[in-house]
Amino acid sequence: MKDLLLFVMFSIGIIFLSLVSMKTSSRIMGIENRVSALEKPKLDTYEQALDYILQRESNNGKADNLDVPGPDGELGPWQVTPIWIDDIKRLTGEVVDPMNQVSTRRQVRIWLEHYAPRVGAESKEEMHELYRRGPTGYRRWKGE
């Protein structure tokens, strides 16, 4: 009888500890989930602008004949022009491969980060206009 009583008490203790542990774990996990949700970076304006530009310029790189120069020499998914390519080379010293979506995206971001603050382009739509028109054309478009 004494052994049975010890076994029952031991079992109740184990169950109690398991319940407390589960409650604590879920509380800790809840805090971790809230913290990680706060720490997850949101798409910044530049990333939103890059997505928007790629969509507008070439339907996310799915347009036809991206490897054939357009009327102004624009080429690739980002529709980069020879003038833009020269400007990136001046700013970064890098050579642009218009058909490489990944490296060109990085270079477009560098270009936007350089010019957007100088002309006051803040939204993705304004950054797209800046990208399309260049800094001088953008200022004219804004009426400055």
Cα 94 from Cα 60, distance rounded (Å): 23
At residue 132, the pLDDT reads 94
Would you state the pLDDT for residue 128?
Answer: 96
Which SS3 state, helix, strand or coil, does residue 118 take? helix
Q: Which of 142, 106, 43 is nearest to 132 (CA)?
A: 142
How do residues 46-74 score in pLDDT, each as one tens digit? 999 999 999 999 999 899 999 999 999 99
User: What is d(CA 26, CA 34) in angstroms, rounded to the nearest whole number?
Assistant: 12
Q: How far is CA 43 from CA 46, 49, 51, 90, in A?
A: 8, 10, 10, 28
Are 107 and 86 spatial neighbours (Cβ–Cβ below 8 Å)? no
The DSSP bridge partners found for residue 80 are: 75
What pLDDT is stored for residue 1 in this prediction?
65
- Rounded CA gap, 106 and 141, in Å? 26
Q: Which two tokens stand for residue 114?
A: 């350089």
Q: Taking the model in full, what pTM does it have?
A: 0.68
Average pLDDT of the chain to the nearest whole number: 82
What are the mean pLDDT values of the chain's consecutive 10-residue runs (144 residues total)? 63 61 50 45 79 95 93 95 95 95 96 93 94 92 85
Per-residue pLDDT at 142? 87
Q: Kindly give the residue spans of alpha helices, DSSP state H, lying in 1-144.
A: 2-39, 45-58, 82-92, 101-119, 124-142
